[in-house]
Amino acid sequence: MTMQVQVVSPERILWTGDAELVTARTVEGGDITFLTGHAPFVGALEIGQVIIRPEAGEDTAFAVHGGFVEVSSNQVSLLTDVAEPAADIDVERARAALATAKAALATDPLDPAAPAAVRRAELRLLVAGATAD
């Protein structure tokens, strides 16, 4: 048995289909996996990887940078500010962003934006299956 899943950003629907499971990172709960029959749930998404296991085929990964997840009646909706499928991630750009963010953090350890920029760049590399090299 499967669930209907959709990943939606302000620009477009990034993924829709039937899936066996969805794993996402929430702000208060850490990583959570949703399976068929999951109790209703609403949560804020943290910067993290979302994994969707479709009914057929390989797992699909997204780099998600905030938003919300709602689960109800075997439907999972991920409404995200920014979500990037692994295939769309520019690895060299992510590496450059990581270097810039780490330099900003080293220059000003109290800069509130720098740690989040580091996490976003590291996440993009993780989802793309690349290293920081």
The model's pLDDT over 33-55, given as tens digits with 9 standing for 90+, comes to 999 999 999 999 999 999 999 98
Query: Rounded to whole angstroms, how far apart are CA atoms 68 and 41?
Result: 10
Distances (CA, A) of 48 to 1, 93, 107, 118: 26, 18, 25, 12
* pTM value > 0.85: yes
**Average of per-residue pLDDT values in the chain:** 94
Give the start-to-end residue ranges of the domains of the chain: 3-86, 89-128
Is a pLDDT exceeding 90 seen at residue 1? no
Which are the contacts of 30, defined by CB distance < 8 A and separation ≥ 6?
Answer: none
Contact in structure between 43 and 26 (CB atoms under 8 Å): yes
Q: Which of 9, 35, 6 is nearest to 23 (CA)?
A: 35
pLDDT band at 21; cut points 50, 70, 90: very high
Architecture of domain 3-86: Sandwich (2.60)
Which are the contacts of 100, defined by CB distance < 8 A and separation ≥ 6?
Answer: 117
Which ranges in the chain belong to alpha helices (H)? 91-107, 113-128
Q: What percent of the chain has pLDDT over 70?
A: 99
